[in-house]
Amino acid sequence: MQHLIDTPDLTDAQLAAILEDARRFKRQKPITLLRDKLIITLFFENSTRTRSSFEIAAKRLGAAVVHLDPSTSSTNKGESLEDTFANLCAMDPDAVIIRHWENDAPLKLAAKEMTPVINAGAGSFAHPTQALLDLFTLQEHFGDVKGKTIAIVGDIVSSRVASSGIKLLQRAGMNLLLVAPPAFMPKSDLPQYERLEDVLDQVDAVMSLRAQLERHKAPIFEDYNAYAEHYCLTHERLGDRPLLILHPGPVMRNIDISDAMLEDPRCKVLDQVKNGVYVRMAILKFLLLDR
């Protein structure tokens, strides 16, 4: 049974096929390939983009979607995650899409081999579909991304987007630079910088990341305006450099990216969201049909 827990689960051929399907779905509305399928979404953490984009992707392909809201489920009566999952699987879904604060939650459920499990974000461990849509967006702009350089900026140590993105973008042949204050910098062999100004003339793209306040055990910065003075992507800082700007969302306006820069054509935040639907359609097709 094939799951998607992180991008190394995919072979190079599978990865290429998913990205090609996503490009095809973006060019041309697909037929309802999954019309007899039923997918359950199970989000234990908040989501705007990932949950709605998976639901739209499934419905565009003709699948039915059932959402179980953990806040009104029997989780609140003490039912374990494993039991909740087993009971949902007893109703024969074709896949379960899960977001959870525990790093190993999707892997634990996948190991039961009851239905394909898709990781929609697990703790600080992995967010594979975000990494795939980020790569798709970079390829859409640059064509081949091999040899291009991207700076990942912000709370890298707590970010599942960075964790999955670093693996996938390196695999695609990109050069990666990490830019963060010491408290946000992970242990890594990648080049590390504290000052954004030191990398801006070396990069083709910048991926800004939100401070993952919900994962900090204690406040790291008292005042994020002080952080923004050094790391916010502004016109003053970026000038007219031809950089692509990415952010997985939600954006902390004027902390991660300025209001004005969010309106700049170099900023692809909403393109990433749009592309997320096509990439997730391709992932659902791959897991529910091709496999």
Contact between 271 and ligand CP by CB under 6 A: the answer reads no
The whole-angstrom separation of Cα 171 and Cα 196 is 24
Position among 121, 123, 154, 186 found at the interface with ligand CP (CB under 6 A): 121
Q: How many residues bind ligand CP, per CB under 6 A?
A: 9
Q: How many Å from the N-terminal Cα to the C-terminal Cα in the chain?
A: 8
SS3 state at 216:
coil
Question: Pairing mode, if any, of strands 192-193 and 175-179?
Answer: parallel
What would the x/- binding string for ligand CP be over residues 214 to 253, using CB under 6 A?
----------------------------------xxx---
Q: Which is nearer to ligand CP, 96 or 199 (CB)?
A: 96
Find the shortest distance in angstroms from Cβ 137 to ligand CP: 12
Q: Which is nearer to ligand CP, 97 or 179 (CB)?
A: 97
Q: Which is nearer to ligand CP, 131 or 157 (CB)?
A: 131
Find the shortest distance in angstroms from Cβ 279 to ligand CP: 12
Helix, strand, coil: what percent of the chain each, to 5?
45, 15, 40
Q: Which residues contact 215 (CB under 8 A, 6 or more apart)?
A: 123, 124, 158
- Contacts of ligand CP in 39-98 (CB under 6 A): 47-50
Find the shortest distance in angstroms from Cβ 45 to ligand CP: 7
Find the shortest distance in angstroms from Cβ 78 to ligand CP: 27
> DSSP for 52-95?
HHHHHHHHHTT-EEEEE-GGGSGGGGT--HHHHHHHHHTT--SE
Residues of the shown chain interacting with ligand CP in the complex, contacts defined by CB under 6 A? 47-50, 121, 130, 248-250
